[in-house]
Structure 1
Amino acid sequence: MSETATRSAPASPGCAYAGIGRSGSSRWIRTSVTRGDPTDALRKAACQAGAVGQSLGVYRERLSVPVSWWIISAAAVVTLFAITAVPAGLLAGVIVGAIALLVLLALLIRYGGARVEVDAERLRAGRAVIERAHLGAAEALTGEAARNAFGRDCDPQAFLLLRSYARGAVRVAITDPDDPAPYWVLATRHPERLAAALSGHSVTRS
């Protein structure tokens, strides 16, 4: 008779690891694994790979502009079309409206295209990249603390990735002695999740 061992595992059979993934949480269930199962070794290998991926703190976020900005931009295009078409004619209104539309589209896509990404080796914020070996403590900031981090409390040499519509921020120390920036402040909609990915789930919140 084979023995049966019961252990905690995530939704995939036979796996057991802890961490925060892209969704920011792990689902846990109780599963039974029979030691005589020939696929147990494969499951253990998959679990180990999953555990490594979780512990590396993978995080990805695109700081896209909110829907309200698109609505305001559309209203601006219509307004420009109207105030041009009435005195100068329909063709002039269409030309001005089309130019305004293209300019606003380019600006919104560019401004909202900034990404914050954390993987096993580096942190990427917009176009800036730094190795994780040079990162110190990460602090999740919300509310007034986040606003002050970009304003009155900001070091002039700090690197900033600011997006006014992202209400949270993360401040991460830079330990590289050759880097003039003492820390980075990154806008984010999920400050706790980003700080956890950077600091191995040890998060300070302000």
Structure 2
Amino acid sequence: MQPSVPSPAPSPESSAAPAAPRFDERLTAPGSWWAIAGLLGLSGGLIMFPFGTVPMLGGLIVAAVLAGAAVSSYGSARVRVVAGSLVAGDARIPVSALGAVEVLDAEEARAWRTHKADPRAFMLMRSYVPRAVRIEVTDPADPTPYVYLSTREPEALEAAVEAVRTGTEG
């Protein structure tokens, strides 16, 4: 599984609009994580409090910005099915190289994240998303046995992959 490479810009004679994604989900961090980031900003201000008002405000702003950037970065992962490919984070794999899609409930997803996991698998997992899908990789040139993706809508992702594979509109 290789990270995606930026595709060349479409030429003017190519289709006017890019293909709309059949599935598009951003694995955003929960609100409680943003509250914790705010509390970390407050902590930065309290740490700098003995040095005066200006350092306190500086500590508050710097700590809040750093914590917010960390939460935003972790919560910016996307899972998409677009233009005949499954795009998960930085990875892009053609749907033609994918096999069976298995929808995992919370218990089965936990098992595939832990004791059933294969170290060669590509895993885009978020602990705050309890459900997932496991998709076999059938490309013989790819050593990745499967793709594990956390998703809040595993049935919709499965339907999108199957729709692309069979060439049906959905």
The TM-score by the shorter chain falls in which range? 0.7 to 0.9
Query: Match of 1:78?
Result: 42
Q: State, as a whole percentage, how many aligned pairs show the same letter.
A: 40
**How many Å separate the matches in 2 of 1:166 and 1:63?**
8
TM superposition outliers: structure 1 runs of 4+ over 6 Å = none
Q: Whole-Å Cα distance in 1 between the matches of residues 135 and 21 of structure 2? A: 15
Q: TM-score, normalised by structure 1?
A: 0.66
Aligned residue number for residue 69 of structure 1: 33
Give a deviation string over 1:86-110, Cα, whole Å, max 9, x none.
x222222111111112211221221
2:120 maps to 157
Partner of 1:89: 52
Pair 1:106 & 2:106 matched: no
What CA RMSD, in Å, does the superposition of the two structures yield over aligned residues?
1.9
The equivalent of 2:23 in structure 1 is 59
Partner of 2:135: 172
Cα pair distance change 1:144/1:163, threshold 3 Å: same
TM-score (norm 2): 0.80
Unaligned 5+ segments in structure 2 are 1-18, 165-170
- 1:1-206 to structure 2, matched below 5 A, reads 58-85=22-49, 87-200=50-163
CA distance in 1, matches of 2:160, 2:132: 14
Distance 1:174 1:59 in 2: 19
Gaps of 5+ in 1: 1-52, 202-206
CA-CA distance at 1:144 after TM superposition: 1.3
Is the strand fraction higher in 1 or 2?
1
Q: Which amino acid aligns with 2:26?
A: R
The alignment covers a number of residue pairs equal to 146
Q: Tell which structure's C-alpha radius of gyration is larger.
A: 1
Of stretches 72-81 and 178-187 in structure 1, the one that deviates more from structure 2 is 72-81
